[in-house]
Structure 1
Amino acid sequence: MKGLLRILTNRVIIIILLILIQFGILFDIIFRFSEYFVYFYAVYLIISILVILKILNSRSNPAYKIAWLVPIMVIPVLGTLIYLVFGRVRFSKQEKIQMARIQRNEEVLDVETVKPIKITDGNLDAVVQSTYLSAYGEGALFSHTTSEYYPTGEASLKSMLVELEKAEHYIFMEYFIVQEGVMWNSILDILERKAQEGLDVRFIYDDFGCLFTLPHDYHKQLESRGIKCRVFNPFLPVLSPIFNNRSHRKVMVIDGKVAFTGGLNLADEYINEIERFGHWKDNSIMIKGEAAWGFALIFLSLWQFVDKNYEDARPFIPSYKPGELPEAAGYYQPYVDSPFDAETVGITTYLNLINRAKKYIYITTPYLVIDNTLMEALCGAAKGGIDVRIITPHQPDKWYVHEVTQSNYAQLIEAGVKIFEYTPGFIHSKTFVVDDIYATVGTVNLDYRSLFLHFECGVWMYKTIGVQEVLKDHLETEGLSQLITLKEAKTVVWYKRLLRNILRIFSPLL
């Protein structure tokens, strides 16, 4: 009896039941209107035409438009209703104004605390990429920075714990998934102790990302331990388009001098303490020096947005002793992407790397759910003689996404792209490395949600030690992966081919 009561009072079960009730009410309204079919159909027809016109004339990705037009036309009434509830990706005017004000504050801080620098070695391709990120990715370009890349979650955690112990003033953390276990508990012990010592410890987690991993009042538990905590986009059992927009970022900042980002969430599968899909391959990068302040600004911008209170960021500006800043070669540029505007920073950053490659493009991604623009860019690069290689998982975490990933293999391989599957298990890293001089490490997957719907972040690197470390990891991972042949990509039974064709239509919604 207690077990049944626990299930019935579970937050997820309650949310599902409430959403089903709301759908039931909508269907009941439709059924009652059926008595006035002529009037109802006329109203529906007008609404559907307006919705279709809105979709066709929006700035959305064409594949995303098709994914909504199909159900609207195939399942007329239900398709339109579902689009009106879930299909609109938007924030209120007030929220956009709030974030714009926060971002303007960031730009002032950038000017006042970091001398604006530009790439001066004559590489115009690098200048174009950096200029774009400065203008649209909320990220300044930094030198006086070094990094250390970690090719596994286990190595990442060791370094995180060491750096957290060194914190003297503040710790900022923002993560998509958090789950109690070896990884999170070891971090939490330090956070609680540092908070008791008087440090400013702040944490943001995404409510939807933690829906199945944390209790609904977990933020109160952290607050009781002295940790300031905010929940991004609290998941409410109300039919709303806000479901689409999640904070997928992973950021840890220590005193504005050290920062971590990458694919790593805070749960035990990410460090292989538990096994879910074979060996879990993930990564992170530690940034030390000026560029860490860029990640502090990224965190503070979202903190101010969810906290709803203006806060001067100047007290968090790090101060360095003479000779403390690293004299490292190359440039680092933290950047963000968000659905507050129509600017698709994630995909444009990747396209800039692909289109400016001269020798090779090496990619790791857990999902290869791409639109025609990315497909043509990758195929065009390979047809032009660029060595394009992509590593994806052999064991998926989501079977339906993996089916769409594999459905893209044949076209890419025919163009000359080499596709590898990481055979030990699941690879969750998101990296690009190009021509020995460019690399990105961050949270942006090659799928529609990351590229168009979620809040994301990453670091763009030019001629840094991090570029060589990402390259080394990619080549070593290839050695553990299976090269997919064109024959294998095309040898698919008819029913699976049909399933993939259907899934590809709706892939922007997966």
Structure 2
Amino acid sequence: MKRLLKKGKRSILRGIFSRTTIIVFLILLQIFILISSVIWFRQYQIHFQILGILMMSGSILYLINSQMDTLSIITWLLVILPFPHLGTLFLIYTKQDWGYRELKSLIKQSTQAIKPYFEQDQEILDKLKKSHARTYNLAQYLHRSGGFPVYENTRVTYFSNGETKFEALKDQLLKAKKFIFLEYFIIAEGVMWGEILAILEQKVKEGVEVRVMYDGMLEFSTLSFDYVKRLQKIGINAKVFSPISPFVSTYYNYRDHRKILVIDNKVAFNGGINLADEYINQIERFGYWKDTAVMLEGEGVASFTLMFLQMWSTTNRDYEFALYLLPADSSIEAKGYVIPYSDSPLDHDKVGENVYIDILNQARDYVYIMTPYLILDSEMEHALKFAAERGVDVRIVMPGIPDKKVPYALAKRYYPALMESGVKIYEYTPGFVHAKVFVADNIKAVVGTINLDYRSLYHHFECATYMYQTDCIADIILDFKQTIKMSRRVTRSTLKKEKFSTKIIGIVVKLVAPLL
């Protein structure tokens, strides 16, 4: 009994004095000091009111003349008008982005350093221009925005769930000879990560270089603060992207939401599937977990190798990129074109959203979409509605069982307007859809990490694979049609039957949609 009490006491003390508790306490303390300062200044009532009017006026002028979308401006006004002092200070703080300037500088340096290594074969580009002008224009945009080349001779395999991707991933890891790079938003200890880690440890013993990078938010959720050291002890070079610090900062917005695995510059995996047991339905969370991924083999893998190295080098400025650009498998011959690309929240170029909008604007017959979230800015909402109004068959598959109640309620606020324009919306009855898929007209598709919400489109580091006339597009279409069969169609009647609480939450939360 005494041992149990001592053990319980030690656990409580570890919880109280843990890094997580200290960070949360210091952040709350900073917020308390800020609010207390504003309250203290209120004793100077007249001066305080005049200052508030000036701050509010300046904020309104700034917002009206900014390049923000309309909904973001409205959201800021709803914060500033009732609370001019705190609201304006928050706006200034957000727009100055104190706390991430160093990150922005490092990202800029590594991006510039890696651009020369993205080599575009001009013959491929010329060929694309002659036969497929619209896709050529998108390829030109992606090349200008991040240097991303368009490739031929890249075989793409599509996985319609996490289980099949997991088996293929293990097979490819076992073939590694030179290096293995992993960059994931979520890694959680369990069956999936345990089997992968065992292979990585084996490969380290064989002399293969292994690097693992994961987002700093995991230190609050699935992994311990010392996990990097634990990986280093077994020979894995590990790194946390944007670790959590005890200071209030917009730094927390910019998460690494990418999922990249590269092996010897010959094979790359990309898609929505993280390294946790729910993604392979080893454990059940929100019913059956529906997700997707792609595996690239051939020339296009080089872009994912470079994307990983670019993010890795943001902290140590290791620019030895050429060492890892091993020759691609010359025996691979595949139809179509592939453009792997990434999106950064720090360059103010909405690459992920622009690619989606281009697909919608260029579509002639249909656009099929799978996404876990639907929190749209005015541009994306207009593109979806306009495509449907032009007669394009636009279909969106959403989760039937949500992982987060508030975003789910908010998504339903967009349904009526989309449906009015002709967009067809479905909810996947077996469970949760985490896939991020666009496929259009039997000829083009995107599979990646980019959700249809503000976080993915504005605040996260993301990546995806654009495919044009590749063989695997037929598999993506088939998977979508099978998913539709297991989904219920949303109608005005079903929307009316929604819980009153869901409707109220959606109405209220839409006021602050850009903050979610």
* Common fold: TM-score over 0.5: yes
Alignment of 1:390-405 (within 5 A): 390-405=396-411
- The counterpart of 2:338, out of the listed 332, 342, 360, is 332
1:297 and 2:306 correspond: yes
Deviation at 1:209, TM superposition (A): 4.4
- The counterpart of 2:213, out of the listed 179, 197, 204, is 204
Q: For each residue in 1:117-139, what CA deviation from the matched residue of structure 2 results, as whole angstroms up to 9, or x when unmatched?
A: 21155222211121111111441
Residue number in structure 1 paired with 2:5 = none
User: Cα–Cα, structure 1 residues 493 and 193, in superposed 2: closer, same or farther, change >3 Å?
Assistant: closer
User: Cα–Cα, structure 1 residues 285 and 495, in superposed 2: closer, same or farther, change >3 Å?
Assistant: closer
User: Cα–Cα, structure 1 residues 290 and 188, in superposed 2: closer, same or farther, change >3 Å?
Assistant: same
Residue number in structure 1 paired with 2:3 = none
- Is the Cα contact below 8 Å between 1:103 and 1:138 reproduced in 2? no
1:474 and 2:480 correspond: yes
Query: Matches of 1:92 and 1:269 in 2, distance apart?
Result: 32
Moved more, 470-479 or 61-70: 61-70
Query: Matches of 2:402 and 2:166 in 1, distance apart?
Result: 23
Query: Matches of 1:197 and 1:65 in 2, distance apart?
Result: 55
Query: Matches of 2:407 and 2:232 in 1, distance apart?
Result: 37
- The counterpart of 1:356, out of the listed 357, 362, 371, is 362
- The counterpart of 1:275, out of the listed 281, 284, 294, is 284
- Is the Cα contact below 8 Å between 1:98 and 1:305 reproduced in 2? yes
Residue number in structure 1 paired with 2:463 = 457
Partner AA of 2:441 in structure 1: D
Residue number in structure 2 paired with 1:373 = 379
- Is the Cα contact below 8 Å between 1:370 and 1:447 reproduced in 2? yes
Query: Matches of 1:359 and 1:320 in 2, distance apart?
Result: 36
- The counterpart of 2:350, out of the listed 344, 361, 375, is 344
Deviation at 1:306, TM superposition (A): 2.7
Query: Matches of 2:252 and 2:121 in 1, distance apart?
Result: 37
Deviation at 1:414, TM superposition (A): 1.7
Aligned residues: 506
Q: For each residue in 1:326-348, what CA deviation from the matched residue of structure 2 results, as whole angstroms up to 9, or x when unmatched?
A: 11000110001101212100110
- The counterpart of 2:393, out of the listed 387, 390, 404, is 387
Deviation at 1:71, TM superposition (A): 1.1
Unaligned 5+ runs, structure 2: 1-8
- Is the Cα contact below 8 Å between 2:99 and 2:250 reproduced in 1? no
Query: Matches of 1:54 and 1:326 in 2, distance apart?
Result: 54
TM-score for both structures, normalised by structure 2:
0.93
Residue number in structure 2 paired with 1:431 = 437
User: Cα–Cα, structure 1 residues 33 and 151, in superposed 2: closer, same or farther, change >3 Å?
Assistant: same
Query: Matches of 1:129 and 1:368 in 2, distance apart?
Result: 24
Q: For each residue in 1:24-43, what CA deviation from the matched residue of structure 2 results, as whole angstroms up to 9, or x when unmatched?
A: 11122222222223333444
Residue number in structure 2 paired with 1:254 = 263
1:23 and 2:35 correspond: no
Deviation at 1:495, TM superposition (A): 5.4
User: Cα–Cα, structure 1 residues 247 and 53, in superposed 2: closer, same or farther, change >3 Å?
Assistant: farther
Deviation at 1:92, TM superposition (A): 5.8
Deviation at 1:361, TM superposition (A): 0.3
- RMSD between superposed Cα atoms in Å: 2.1
Moved more, 457-466 or 101-110: 101-110
Deviation at 1:56, TM superposition (A): 3.1
Moved more, 492-501 or 129-138: 492-501
Query: Matches of 1:478 and 1:121 in 2, distance apart?
Result: 36
Q: Secondary structure at the match of 2:47?
A: helix
Residue number in structure 2 paired with 1:229 = 238
- Is the Cα contact below 8 Å between 2:409 and 2:503 reproduced in 1? no
Deviation at 1:203, TM superposition (A): 1.2
Q: Secondary structure at the match of 1:362?
A: strand
Q: Secondary structure at the match of 2:182?
A: strand
- Is the Cα contact below 8 Å between 1:89 and 1:453 reproduced in 2? no
User: Cα–Cα, structure 1 residues 396 and 375, in superposed 2: closer, same or farther, change >3 Å?
Assistant: same
Moved more, 404-413 or 425-434: 404-413
Deviation at 1:491, TM superposition (A): 4.3
- Is the Cα contact below 8 Å between 1:141 and 1:332 reproduced in 2? yes
Q: Secondary structure at the match of 1:74?
A: coil
1:105 and 2:113 correspond: yes
Q: Secondary structure at the match of 2:509?
A: helix
Deviation at 1:291, TM superposition (A): 0.5
Residue number in structure 2 paired with 1:442 = 448
Deviation at 1:430, TM superposition (A): 0.2
Query: Matches of 1:6 and 1:124 in 2, distance apart?
Result: 62
Moved more, 141-150 or 25-34: 25-34
Residue number in structure 2 paired with 1:500 = 506
Partner AA of 2:361 in structure 1: N
Deviation at 1:106, TM superposition (A): 2.6
User: Cα–Cα, structure 1 residues 229 and 44, in superposed 2: closer, same or farther, change >3 Å?
Assistant: farther
- Is the Cα contact below 8 Å between 2:426 and 2:487 reproduced in 1? yes
Query: Matches of 1:91 and 1:64 in 2, distance apart?
Result: 22
Residue number in structure 2 paired with 1:65 = 73
Query: Matches of 2:21 and 2:95 in 1, distance apart?
Result: 24
Q: For each residue in 1:301-325, what CA deviation from the matched residue of structure 2 results, as whole angstroms up to 9, or x when unmatched?
A: 1111132x2322111111246xx43
Q: Secondary structure at the match of 1:171?
A: strand
Query: Matches of 2:132 and 2:514 in 1, distance apart?
Result: 36
Moved more, 255-264 or 94-103: 94-103
User: Cα–Cα, structure 1 residues 398 and 439, in superposed 2: closer, same or farther, change >3 Å?
Assistant: same
Q: For each residue in 1:399-444, what CA deviation from the matched residue of structure 2 results, as whole angstroms up to 9, or x when unmatched?
A: 0000011111111112111111011110100000000000000000
- Is the Cα contact below 8 Å between 2:211 and 2:238 reproduced in 1? yes
- The counterpart of 2:46, out of the listed 38, 41, 46, is 38
Partner AA of 2:273 in structure 1: L
1:53 and 2:61 correspond: yes
Deviation at 1:3, TM superposition (A): 3.8
Q: Secondary structure at the match of 2:131?
A: coil
Partner AA of 1:33 in structure 2: F
- Is the Cα contact below 8 Å between 1:90 and 1:340 reproduced in 2? no
User: Cα–Cα, structure 1 residues 55 and 178, in superposed 2: closer, same or farther, change >3 Å?
Assistant: farther
- Is the Cα contact below 8 Å between 2:69 and 2:378 reproduced in 1? no
Q: Secondary structure at the match of 1:208?
A: helix
Deviation at 1:148, TM superposition (A): 0.8
1:76 and 2:117 correspond: no
Query: Matches of 2:104 and 2:402 in 1, distance apart?
Result: 36
Give % identity: 38
- Is the Cα contact below 8 Å between 2:100 and 2:251 reproduced in 1? no
- Is the Cα contact below 8 Å between 2:411 and 2:506 reproduced in 1? no
Query: Matches of 1:331 and 1:337 in 2, distance apart?
Result: 20
TM-score for both structures, normalised by structure 1:
0.94
